A and B are shown apart, each in its own frame.
Chain A
Amino acid sequence: MSQDFLGEFEQMVLLSILRLGNRAYGLAIKDELERVAGRMPSSGSLYTTLDRMEKKKLVESSAGEVTHERGGRPRRYVGVTAAGQALLVRSRTRLMALWNGLERTLDR
């Protein structure tokens, strides 16, 4: 398949979702990204990335509760699929392989 790599932002989003467990929906992911990684993605980029990864079957979503403050719209809870998790792990392995031996050089 074409999808062999994950972009940096994709990795960050996937990791945030995993960290949030079953509470991962758009706003929560955004807060998590900001809190842990110091990134404040624009709405456009976050939701486009989620849509793209869903199309690639890296995440899957399910409808959550409908509340008044959301203008009667459901939460879209997202979870990482098995394929998504596998890809995350592969990306990490590759990166680690590249990092290997460089710690000393870069630690100055």
Chain B
Amino acid sequence: MSGHRPPRWLDWILNWAVPMGLSGQGTLGDLAEEFGRRASVSPFRARFWYARQTVSIVAYRITSGSDSKSSATNSDIVMDLRWSFRSIFRHPGFSFGVVAVLGLGLAANAAVFSVVDGTLRNTVWWSEPDATVAIWPDNQFSFGQLDLYADEQSVYDVVGGYVELAFALRTPDGESESVNGVSITPTLFRELAVQPSLGRALADDDAFVGVEPVVVIGEALWRRSFGADSAILGSRINVGGAPVTVVGIQGTGGMAPGGRAQLWFPLVVDPRDDDFWKARSYTLVGVLQESATLNNAFDDLMAFTERLSQLFPMFFPRGFANGLASVTRADHAQRSMISTPLMLLLAGTALLMLVTALNVGNLLLGRAIDRRKELALRTSLGAGRGRIVRQLLVEGFVLTTLAVGLGLAMGSFGGQWIAGLFVEEAVVTSSSILSPTVLVFSFLVSALAWLVLNGAPIAHFLRTQRSGINVKPDSGAGMQRFLVTVQAALATLLLVSATLLVATVDNLREIPLGFDTRGLVTLELSPPEDRVESVPKARDLYERLVASVQSLPGVEAVGLTGWLPLRALAPATPINLQAAPVDPREAVSAAMQMVDPGFFETYEVKPSAGRLLRSDDRAMVPSAVVINQTLAEMLWPDGSAVGQMIAIDPHAWNTWAPIVGVIPDIRSGEITGPIGPALYVSLAESPSRDVTLVVRTAGAPASLIPMLRRTVREVDPLVPIRAISEMNDVVRAAYATSWVMMGLLTVLAVLATALGAIGIYAVLAHHVALNKKEIGVRMALGAQPGMVVRGVVRSGLVLAGIGILIGCVGAAMSMRFIETLLFEVSALAPAAFIAPAIALAAAAALAAWLPATRAGRLPPADVLRSD
């Protein structure tokens, strides 16, 4: 049958591979003819056969260069290349193993480096990264302070503040969408942002009370929700239920501050506003004058805090900023959290790469030992030393080059994957694997790997070369053992780091939270200002939200809290005691949590004394207070907390409220560190803009999330949902960096251990193969197979043991680098060293056992008879 045609793409390859003229045409014709013959039996098998013939012809073409086209360029290098390709095709298993191992190491390096590079390079964040500083980043300023400081400071060109919020945006098709946004001082916006791609930036005049409200929108939002229609400039869109005029479109790419913000509003503040001095929610950023240094900026900030103490001694006791205030480079403030882990990761992958290169070097050394006769013969026939060294180098080069291709291909996926693992998604990004820096880095790493993996075979060749053709078979075995020992040491180092992080994550997971996270869902809401401007309005909104969520099937309890535990820190407030009044400056302070009665029910908290908040508590002015165990023990160690009268408002220092109950500690704020004193008051008393709905569900929380989203929109389409997440994820996010680092380092450590074991296996297998005769003689003389096996295993364990010891010493010396990531684990914890040692020794024993049993099974007679 002539109906079958060979696959076209294979033909295309073949056309390239065969010589021109009759010879090539004849070859192709023969293949087509036989393909037709085979296809009439089985088309599938014929295709497979055709592919195999293609590979065979291509391989011969590469390695032999039989056609006349290239015969004129038979330079030495080309010959070396050919020779290398031929030896690669001749040992496909070996070559594949080497390329795969090297490629994997390179992929890990390229991936991690692309993440480090992408993260450190993320300079879109600040237009002047060197001059832009974050002023006391841990602190939030009130607008009054911001305003005052902007007037009084003397070191910045521009000082401004911003606050990140979420807004409900009405899109043209009538849908309501939650969008992250930033309210920012216009001068700061203009200083930091790249020029809008359309329209104008925010102007100072936009920030006055009573002027037409304006907004700059992000290009991504513009494309997504407004169809990239430039007619939107100057028209009004509906944000949070109010019309605002779009004046500019901000280019793509994150812009500081607020990495994912898509709406930028001018920070409009009314000095008559109650919150002018009180609400502390702004982050301060300044752009330094050219002559100013960070130290000047710090002194300036300290002078300002002293001024605050003079002006408002009630709120700012003298020295309140001592040891707390700080000024840091803005990008540094964002990156310092992540740069240590990333650098550690890079160090880990570098170690893995070293293990990889040593491993491959070991394999090549083994081959060089096997080829010692061939090489010695060639030198004695007149091949120069340099000639043979070059040949070895070229062979390593070809293998490394193939591995680079594989490594870059795998690395491009790895980089995105790793970046996606980190929670700080706006900060951690991976740059393209093909970006110049990543490419340069990858080539440098592979060049180093190339040198390392060639070092051993070349050193071996040069050494044996002196002893002429009668090379002893075991020469070079010492070097092999050395390489394996180094691998074991490096693997130990990685294993110890991974073990410490596993212990850390274990400790973090066991931190008592004070509540059961299972089945809890959290919805972070940002109601627009006019919804919560008065207590009755806010109360109404909250009640409607809680009632409609409560009525959903599968919902067991609903509560409200001003600050989501583990994500935000509630502000501290001073406490006055009726029984023993104190000056506010000397008062004990506690975190003030604003919650509704449903909060306790949802968190399943039972009072340890007294009672919880009730919905009728809010009728009392001031409201009832519930305190946590820590605060109770701090102020009333005798247990008489319930019934005491306290004041918690420095403005109303003698307005007393009763403590009605004590509850066990619930963790809020950071996951590590002690649980501080806390008190709980009714949220409806002083509604906050940001509020979190906590929902306890009966079944799987994830299935309820879409329904919760819909319910909130039905209650009020203008209340944007900033985030909706399962409490388990909130908790995990609190120690995500340790978690991710643990996972990645464990992967690296396991790979290094596996490579170390392979190294031990290779050396011992080689040793057994080389010493077959000796083993045969010993067994012929009466040695038991068990003894032979034990002997080989023992030598494997000795190699690993020395490596483990060296690795442990190295780990003990370098673990201070990892200390910042650890939690309640000593970097020198004995278990962190013993467990890896045992694991590695076990892997080594297994790796040694395979060749050992082979040695034990050698039939003595056959061995002695063979050459």
Q: Which residues of A contact B (CB under 8 A)?
A: 25-27, 42-45, 47-48, 50-52, 54-55, 61-63, 67-71, 73-76
Could you jot down 23 A-B contacts, CB within 8 Å? A27-B33, A27-B34, A43-B56, A47-B18, A47-B57, A47-B60, A48-B60, A50-B23, A52-B64, A55-B68, A61-B23, A62-B22, A67-B33, A68-B2, A69-B2, A70-B30, A71-B5, A71-B29, A73-B26, A73-B29, A73-B32, A76-B23, A76-B25
Using a Cβ cutoff of 8 Å, how many contacts connect chains A and B? 87
Residue contact A44 to B33, C-beta cutoff 8 Å: no
Residue contact A76 to B29, C-beta cutoff 8 Å: yes
Residue contact A48 to B66, C-beta cutoff 8 Å: yes
Instruction: Tell me what chain B mostly uses at the interface: helix, strand, loop, or mixed.
Output: helix
Chain B hits for A25, CB < 8 A = 26, 30
Nearest CB on B from A61, distance (A): 6
Interface size on B (CB < 8 Å)? 30
Task: Evaluate whether A51 and B67 lie within 8 angstroms (CB atoms) in the complex, with A43-B53, A73-B28 already known.
Answer: yes
Closest to A52 in B: B66
Closest to B64 in A: A48
Residue contact B57 to A27, C-beta cutoff 8 Å: no
- Report how far A45 CA is from B57 CA in the complex, Å: 7
Nearest CB on B from A29, distance (A): 9
Residue contact A70 to B33, C-beta cutoff 8 Å: yes
Closest to B26 in A: A76
B59 interface hit (Cβ, 8 Å): yes
Nearest CB on B from A46, distance (A): 9
Nearest CB on B from A3, distance (A): 15
Chain A hits for B23, CB < 8 A = 47, 50-51, 54, 61, 76
B218 interface hit (Cβ, 8 Å): no
Residue contact B56 to A51, C-beta cutoff 8 Å: no
The one of B36, B56, B57, B67 in contact with A69, judged by C-beta atoms closer than 8 angstroms, is B36
Chain B hits for A70, CB < 8 A = 29-30, 32-33
- Report how far A62 CA is from B67 CA in the complex, Å: 17
- 12 other contacts beyond A42-B60, A61-B26, A70-B29, with CB at 8 A cut-off? A26-B27, A43-B30, A44-B60, A47-B27, A63-B25, A69-B2, A69-B32, A71-B5, A71-B29, A73-B25, A76-B23, A76-B25
Q: Which residues of B contact A (CB under 8 A)?
A: 2, 5-6, 18-19, 22-23, 25-34, 36, 52-53, 56-61, 64, 66-68
The one of B5, B6, B19 in contact with A51, judged by C-beta atoms closer than 8 angstroms, is B19
Nearest CB on A from B417, distance (A): 39
The one of A27, A42, A67 in contact with B56, judged by C-beta atoms closer than 8 angstroms, is A42
Nearest CB on A from B656, distance (A): 97
Chain A hits for B30, CB < 8 A = 25-27, 43, 70, 75-76
Interface centre among B26, B57, B68 (most CB of A within 10 A): B26
Task: Evaluate whether A75 and B26 lie within 8 angstroms (CB atoms) in the complex, with A51-B67, A70-B33 already known.
Answer: yes
- Report how far A47 CA is from B31 CA in the complex, Å: 11
Closest to A50 in B: B23
Residue contact A74 to B57, C-beta cutoff 8 Å: no
Interface centre among A47, A62, A70, A76 (most CB of B within 10 A): A47
Chain B hits for A51, CB < 8 A = 19, 23, 66-67
Closest to A71 in B: B32
Nearest CB on B from A63, distance (A): 6
Residue contact A63 to B22, C-beta cutoff 8 Å: yes
Closest to B50 in A: A43
